[in-house]
């Protein structure tokens, strides 16, 4: 079975057929490094991580690029505020801490490192080459110290975003990197140097700096040299950014730019657009400072289908923390079992366990192939966890080495998407000494009972735990056991 994706360009679910057999080329628009990324940005990066991991799970060889926009209107404006006559070194000094923070946050969120992270300031020559091609082919023109792209000359302009071109007047120009959907004009390819800034590069026609859209197109060309399979980004980038990328690239090289455009929806906080004035604006650090776990943030951000708006709430994050603890408990219980090949263990039907595990794996991957149906894939994961718990209950924790191996492998297979199991011992980080898996299973059962409002059962388990010398500490990040000091 192939992958199927919703392609923004064709506006339908398309079967995914890579250009080159088993190799997949992906470009994801990365951060503009002028502030700390917020959780809305990370939703988009986690979406491209899910895409990448799903393709890799299916055996594709992925070559993935995420750019770093370190020169654009915003980075220049902020550098100018700090330095009256900024030069390129000032710009680099300004963006460096944000670049470092970006990579640190991506790492905390368990986002797979991609193959290339080109910086715009290090890809200037390919941008100039593209600019020259567009000038030679007369798609570009020089006016008022800058170079513009003439959108009327590119007949497919608007195909991606479906914008209404009827009101477009020839020759009206836009000099900023971002603009509204109702304001469709010729966009800037190279911005003429301003006297107050020394952040500029010489080209055949004028001294200045690249426009944001040209940067992405040139970085793609520089690495892939031709049509790429997949281009991703948030839905807010469809127009003008991606529309302009297509226009420049296809005009310059006369070939298809991207086969599949895949866009990720917005993230809302408490049902509203995230904004500083509403007090619902969160960076990753804000959330970690509240005591939440990065894996819970990761799991929550990946658990909603990319074409649905994700409503982020602290309550939802608390619930996700509980979900993760359930996964950890089951995995740790399995890991801690002393598997043996004793007579009891030999009674297991290994083939049955093996075929069950294979079905789980297939269902998991099939869900991802179906336009990245992550919710369905995660429900298969939870079914596999229930199966494992039940099996261990039935076997009273005496299982064969082979069964342990098959089930552990099943967890690892699904974790190639979730990437949280590496931290499965974190839950007992404060109380490592001697909390064993039997106690953790009891805690898990108590939380399940509370969730299904079976308070009598929850209370009974709490008492059992107390008799064993542990009290339960509930917090936003989940429940922990703490030894009662007698």
Binding residues with Zn ion: total (CB under 5 A): 2
Torsion sign (Cα): 69, 71, 73, 78: positive
Cα 17 to Cα 33: distance, rounded to the nearest angstrom: 34
Residue ranges in 151-210 that form contacts with Zn ion under rule CB under 5 A:
none
Stretch touching Zn ion by CB under 5 A, among 26-34, 90-98, 155-163, 296-304 = 26-34
Burial call 226-245: b when 16+ CB within 10 Å, e when fewer: ebbbbbbbbbebbbbbbbbb
Cα 81 to Cα 459: distance, rounded to the nearest angstrom: 60
| Nearest CB to Zn ion, comparing residues 227 and 397 | 227
Neighbours of 118 (CB within 10 A): 21
Helix (H) or strand (E) holding 58: none
| Nearest CB to Zn ion, comparing residues 65 and 317 | 65
β strands within 255-335, DSSP E:
258-264, 267-269, 272-273, 310-312
| Nearest CB to Zn ion, comparing residues 216 and 287 | 216
* Per-residue contact string for residues 66-95; x = within reach of Zn ion by CB under 5 A: ------------------------------
Cα 87 to Cα 476: distance, rounded to the nearest angstrom: 46
Decide: is 247 part of the binding site for Zn ion (CB under 5 A).
Answer: no
Q: Report the nearest approach of Zn ion to the CB of residue 10 (Å).
A: 20
| Nearest CB to Zn ion, comparing residues 86 and 126 | 126
Spell out the alpha helix ranges (H) of 109-161.
124-136
One of 7, 18, 24, 29 touching Zn ion (CB under 5 A):
29
Q: Report the nearest approach of Zn ion to the CB of residue 241 (Å).
A: 6
Stretch touching Zn ion by CB under 5 A, among 28-36, 270-278, 336-344, 392-400 = 28-36
Q: Report the nearest approach of Zn ion to the CB of residue 216 (Å).
A: 3
Q: What 3-state class would DSSP assign to 69?
A: strand
Q: Report the nearest approach of Zn ion to the CB of residue 118 (Å).
A: 11
Cα 97 to Cα 377: distance, rounded to the nearest angstrom: 37
Instruction: Count Cα atoms within 13 angstroms, Cβ side, for 428.
Output: 19
DSSP 337: -
| Nearest CB to Zn ion, comparing residues 258 and 414 | 258
Q: Are 442 and 461 in contact (CB under 8 A)?
A: yes
Stretch touching Zn ion by CB under 5 A, among 25-33, 127-135, 254-262, 438-446 = 25-33
Neighbours of 467 (CB within 10 A): 8
Residue ranges in 204-233 that form contacts with Zn ion under rule CB under 5 A:
216
Q: Report the nearest approach of Zn ion to the CB of residue 26 (Å).
A: 13
Q: Are 39 and 287 in contact (CB under 8 A)?
A: yes
Mode of pairing for the β-strands spanning 258-264 and 228-234: parallel
Q: Report the nearest approach of Zn ion to the CB of residue 127 (Å).
A: 13
Q: Report the nearest approach of Zn ion to the CB of residue 445 (Å).
A: 48
Q: Report the nearest approach of Zn ion to the CB of residue 172 (Å).
A: 23
Q: Report the nearest approach of Zn ion to the CB of residue 29 (Å).
A: 3
| Nearest CB to Zn ion, comparing residues 238 and 377 | 238
Residues that bind Zn ion (CB under 5 A): 29, 216
């Amino acid at each position: 079975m192939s992958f199927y994706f919703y392609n923004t360009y064709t506006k339908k679910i398309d079967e995914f057929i890579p250009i080159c057999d088993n190799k997949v080329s992906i470009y994801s628009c990365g951060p503009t490094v002028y502030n700390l990324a917020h959780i809305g940005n990370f939703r988009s990066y986690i979406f491209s991580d899910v895409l990448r991991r799903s393709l890799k799970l299916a055996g594709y060889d992925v070559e993935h690029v995420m750019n770093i926009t370190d020169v654009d209107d915003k980075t220049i404006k902020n550098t100018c505020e700090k330095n009256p006559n900024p030069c390129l070194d000032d710009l680099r000094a300004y963006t460096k801490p944000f670049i470092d923070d970006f990579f640190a946050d991506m790492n905390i969120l368990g986002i797979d490192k991609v193959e290339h992270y080109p910086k715009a300031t290090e890809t200037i020559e390919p941008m100039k080459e593209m600019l020259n091609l567009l000038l030679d082919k007369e798609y570009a023109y020089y006016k008022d110290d800058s170079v513009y792209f003439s959108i009327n000359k590119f007949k497919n302009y608007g195909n991606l975003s479906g914008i209404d071109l009827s009101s477009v007047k020839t020759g009206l120009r836009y000099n900023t990197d971002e603009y509204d959907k109702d304001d469709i004009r010729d966009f800037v390819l190279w911005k003429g140097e301003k006297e107050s800034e020394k952040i500029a590069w010489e080209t055949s026609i004028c001294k200045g700096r690249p426009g944001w859209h040209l940067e992405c197109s040139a970085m793609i060309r520089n690495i892939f040299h031709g049509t790429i399979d997949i281009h991703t980004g948030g839905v807010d980038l469809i127009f003008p950014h991606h529309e302009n990328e297509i226009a420049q690239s296809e005009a310059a090289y006369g070939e298809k730019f991207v086969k599949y455009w895949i866009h990720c929806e917005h993230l809302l906080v408490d049902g509203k657009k995230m904004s500083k004035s509403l007090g619902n604006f969160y960076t990753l650090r804000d959330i970690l400072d509240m005591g939440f776990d990065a894996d819970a943030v990761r799991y929550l951000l990946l658990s909603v289908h990319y074409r649905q708006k994700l409503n982020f709430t602290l309550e939802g994050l608390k619930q996700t923390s509980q979900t993760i603890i359930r996964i950890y408990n089951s995995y740790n219980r399995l890991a801690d079992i002393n598997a043996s090949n004793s007579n009891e263990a030999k009674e297991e039907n290994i083939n049955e366990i093996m075929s069950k595990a294979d079905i789980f794996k297939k269902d998991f991957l099939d869900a991802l192939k179906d336009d990245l149906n992550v919710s369905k894939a995660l429900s298969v994961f939870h079914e596999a966890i229930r199966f494992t718990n039940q099996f261990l209950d039935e076997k009273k924790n005496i299982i064969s080495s082979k069964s342990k191996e098959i089930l552990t492998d099943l967890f690892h297979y699904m974790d190639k998407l979730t990437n949280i199991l590496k931290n499965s011992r974190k839950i007992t980080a404060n109380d490592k000494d001697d909390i064993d898996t039997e106690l953790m299973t009891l805690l898990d059962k108590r939380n399940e009972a509370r969730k299904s409002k079976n308070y009598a059962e929850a209370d009974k388990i709490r008492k059992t735990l107390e008799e064993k010398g542990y009290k339960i500490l509930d917090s936003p990040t989940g429940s922990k056991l703490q030894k009662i000091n007698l």
